[in-house]
Amino acid sequence: MSFIQLDKVEKCYDSGTPALHPMSLSIDKNKKLGIVGETGSGKSTLLKIMAGLISPDSGKVLFKNEILPDPNDRLIPGHPSIAYLSQHFELPYFRTVEEIVYDPYKISESQVNKLYKACHIDHLIRADSQQLSGGEKQRVAVAKLLVDTPELLLLDEPFSNLDLHHQNIIKSTLKNIESTMDATIVLVAHNPTDLLSWADTILAIKHGRVVQSDSPFNIYNFPKNEYVAGLFGVYNLIDSFKWGLDEHGVGMSKGKVIVRPEAFSITNENECQISGKVLGVTYLGSHDQLLVNAEGEKILVNAHVNNYAKEDKIYLRLKSSTSKPNFN
C-alpha cells in the first residue's frame, strides 16, 4: 500500500495557466523521492499539495490511505504528520537555537540532544538565530520540523544558495535523519545531480507533467529525452547504428541515442568501434574532457588528466553498461 498517493491531481495558477497537469504518483513508506525540473516546472506546487498547504483543483491526495484534509477547511493548513520546509523559510528573530527548537511539551531533553547532534547543531544551541550562516539556519529549520516527529518530510531546495561545504553538511544531516527516524522524505533539488547519490527514485517534470520517473542510475544514463539528459549535465547525441546500439535504448530518438562522456572507453586500434581526432582538451580537475571528431560526429569524451592533446588520434568504444537500463 502506498504511503502517500496522488490521484490525477491538477492545479492551475490564478491566470488559468496549468501549474500541474493531471498527475498520479505514489510513494512507499521510508522511500526517498527526488523531484527535478527547470524553473517554473511545478516542483514547489507539487510539494505544497503533498503537504496539504494548497488544494488541487481536481484529483485527490491520499496519506496513509486517507484523503488529505482540504487546507481551505482548516484554520491551520497542513497535516500533523507531514512537515514541509519552504525554500523561503525564516527563523524567529532574537532567539537562540535552543529556544527555537526545544519544546519540552513535545520532546524530552535527551531526545532533543540527539536531534541537535543528528542535525549538526549541537554546538550552536546558545547562538542567536541572526548570527547563523545560511547552512546553519537550514539545519536549525530542519531540526525544528523534526521535533514533531513527522512521518513525511518535504524539503524544497534545501541545498540552494549554500556553498559546497554546507551542502555536504546538509546531506550528512539527511543521512542521520534517515538512520534515526522513521521518516519518508521527498526533496526538490535545484541541482539535480545532488539527488543521484541520495534518492531511491527521481521524478523529472516539465510544464507540470511527469517526463520520467526512474532510478538514479537509469535517469542519468538512460534519460528519456534531451530535456532530462540536460538536467543532469553534459551529454552526447550519437548515431545508434554507427555505434552498434539496438533499439531498446531509453534515450532513442530517430536513430540517435543519448550517451554521457564517461560512457566511452579510449582503447587500442584493434578493439575500437570508432576512431577519432582530438579537437580540444578541457581540464575539469578529476579528469580531462576531450572534444573529439569521431568519424564526422563531434562528441565529448572523458579521459585521464594530461594523457591527450589537441590533434591526437584516439580509438573509442562504448562501455557495455551503455546499452541496457538497469531495472533491478
C-alpha cell at 293: 571528431
* Weakest-pLDDT range from 2-6, 12-16, 134-138, 156-160: 12-16
pTM attached to this predicted model: 0.90
Note whether 158 and 187 are within 8 A (CB): yes
Identify the pLDDT of residue 250: 46
Give the distance between the most distant pair of CA atoms in the chain: 73
Percent of the chain with pLDDT over 90: 75
| pLDDT single digits (tens) 295-317 | 999 999 999 999 999 999 999 99
Q: What is the pLDDT at residue 190?
A: 87
* Residue appearing with cell numbers 578493439: 271
Greater confidence (17 vs 124) lies with 124
CA 3 to CA 12: how far, in whole Å? 25
pLDDT exceeds cutoff 80 at 326: no
What is the pLDDT averaged over residues 162-170?
86
Q: Which fold has domain 235-322?
A: OB fold (Dihydrolipoamide Acetyltransferase, E2P) (2.40.50)
Q: How many CB atoms lie within 10 A of CB 148?
A: 14
Asked if residue 273 lies in contact with residue 299, where contact means CB atoms within 8 angstroms, the answer is no
Neighbours of 264 (CB within 10 A): 28
Rounded Cα distance between 206 and 42, Å, is 7
Q: Assess whether pLDDT exceeds 60 at residue 248.
A: no
User: Rounded to whole angstroms, how far apart are CA atoms 281 and 303?
Assistant: 9
Q: What is the mean pLDDT of residues 222-236?
A: 94
Are 318 and 273 in contact by the 8 Å Cβ rule? The answer is yes
State which amino acid sits at residue 4.
I
Task: Tell me the three state secondary structure of residue 227.
Answer: helix
Question: What is the amino acid identity at position 199?
Answer: A
Tell me the per-residue pLDDT of 67-125, one tens digit each, with 9 for 90 and over: 998 888 887 889 999 999 998 888 999 999 999 999 999 999 999 999 999 999 999 99
The domain limits of the chain are 4-218, 235-322
Same fold, 4-218 and 235-322: no
CB 276 within 8 A of CB 321: no
User: Which residues, 6 or more positions from 168, have their beta carbon under 8 angstroms from its beta carbon?
Assistant: none
Class of domain 4-218: alpha beta
Q: Is the pLDDT of residue 252 over 80?
A: no
Question: What pLDDT, on the 0 to 100 scale, is given for residue 325?
Answer: 66
Q: Average pLDDT in the 20-26 region?
A: 95
